[in-house]
Amino acid sequence: MIVAEDLGKKYPTRSGPPHWVLRDVNFTIPSKLSVGIIGRNGAGKSTLLRMIGGNEKPSTGSLRRLSRVSWPVGFGGGLLSSLTGRQNAKFLCRIQGRESDSDEILRKMQEFADIGSAFDEPVSSYSTGMKARLQFAMSLGFEFDVYISDEVTSVGDAAFQKKALAHFKSLVGKAGLIMVSHSESTLKDFCEAGIWLNEGKAHWYDKIDDAIAAYKAT
């Protein structure tokens, strides 16, 4: 469960008063519900997602994570290119406090990434697609209660995309999913409920279709 109370986020501007991206936002996301966040560019979708992920602190109000929330699925940073895929993945196991069963997790990641022996080669030798595969596999290697995703529709080649989407689908119902996407079909595929961000306010819709309709009406 994720609870936002009077959540607000402001950024300083070069001229004059700060810009409030979000203001007085209240919502409760129940466990195991998949939620799509929509809104136009600059409406604060990614900001909200970063706050849910714990990468950004709210300026006002509070956001409570009462479950284990992932980092953005397929997130690109933090790979050290001189280390191997395995070493990078092992680092993640350690910071997640899962060193004891890391063998099992690593095996799962390696299988999912499906990059063969390159898993034990330095990341600097990877192609863009292989890197994306590794990153995607790394974020799905742990069992989180809630996965967050910021525009992660195009990963790797067609085969991998299919596999990734299938895996994502299998998570729906078992774990929560909070995603930001501009693709209507992706949102409809994955999400039940929707949050529409408009002019700093968040509007909750129990059906994603209603959220999309409201977004389109403006």
Partner 1 sequence: MLSVWKALLLREATFRLFGTRAAWAWLIIEPLAHFAFLTFLFTVIRQRSVGGIETPIWLIIGLFGFFTFRRTANQMGGAIDSNRGLFTYRQVLPFDAIIVRGFLEGLIMVFALGVVILIMALAGYDVMPDRPLVTISALFGLWLFGCGLGLVIATLAEMVPETREIFRMLMMPLYFVSGVIFPASAIPVQYRHYFLWNPLFHGLEEARSGFAVYYHATPNISISYLYLCALCTIGFGLLLYRRTSVAIASA
List residues near partner 1 by CB under 8 A: 50, 53-57, 71-72, 75-80, 82-83, 87, 91-92, 94-97, 99
| Of 56 and 184, CB closest to partner 1 | 56
| Of 66 and 213, CB closest to partner 1 | 66
Burial (Cβ within 10 Å: 0-12, 13-18, ≥19) of residue 122: middle
DSSP string for residues in 117-131: GGGGSBGGG--HHHH
Are β-strands 193-198 and 34-38 bridged in parallel, bridged antiparallel, or unpaired? parallel
Q: How does 150-188 read in b/e, with b if 16+ C-beta sit within 10 Å?
A: bbbbebbeeebeebbbeebeebbeebbbbbbbeeeebbe
In sequence order, the 6+-apart residues with CB closer than 8 A to the CB of 108 are 141
| Of 16 and 97, CB closest to partner 1 | 97
CB of 65 to partner 1, least distance (A): 9
CB of 77 to partner 1, least distance (A): 3
| Of 95 and 166, CB closest to partner 1 | 95
CB of 47 to partner 1, least distance (A): 9
DSSP state of 116: G
| Of 50 and 163, CB closest to partner 1 | 50
CB of 172 to partner 1, least distance (A): 24
Instruction: Tell whether the torsion through CA atoms of 31, 185, 217 and 8 is positive or negative.
Output: positive
CB of 52 to partner 1, least distance (A): 10
